[in-house]
Amino acid sequence: MKLRVLTLATMIFIIGCEEILDVDATSMTIESVTLEKMPFKNSYNLDWDELSGPDIYIRFEETSITGGIETGINQDISPADLPLTWDVSFSLDDFSNNLEVYIYDADVLSDDLIDGGEFEFDPSDTPSTWTLDISDDLQLTIDVTYEF
């Protein structure tokens, strides 16, 4: 009898653990972003800045939500400076919204959009690092945490 109770208790524990491990995330927070690669020429095959390297920052937005955040600016970067990492704190609180990511070259009069993309995340897929391929020559890595 004791063996049956112990077996039943063990089965309930294992089933309960499986249920706990199979919970979808309710939100995702980006803790850091790394610029792995980027184009150092614009679509006209010209440097982003005439006299120096581009002054790069990244903007995060959530679709359907007003606002967003920007990283600080890394000035006059060159290919040798890559990868570049910024610490950030941006939450995607609703997985029905997509994450929008834009990479800019900061300039005096107006900033140049280098490129951007929109990404959809599945709340059941929760790796700690995502690689975002915006184009063939523009790639970011984000380190994230989740709320369940």
Domain residue limits, the chain: 24-147
Q: What is the pLDDT of residue 22?
A: 77
What does the pLDDT look like over 54-75, one tens digit per residue? 999 999 999 988 889 999 999 9
**pTM of this structure:** 0.84
Burial class (CB in 10 A: 0-12, 13-18, 19+), 142: buried
Q: What is the pLDDT of residue 6?
A: 45
Third-level CATH fold of 24-147: Immunoglobulin-like (2.60.40)
Identify the residue with better confidence: 16 or 148: 148
> Does residue 9 carry a pLDDT above 70?
no
Rounded to the nearest 10°, the torsion over CA 100, 101, 102, 106 is: 130
Identify the residue with better confidence: 84 or 67: 84
- pLDDT, averaged across the chain: 89
Confidence label for 20 from pLDDT (cuts 50, 70 and 90): low
Identify the residue with better confidence: 20 or 47: 47
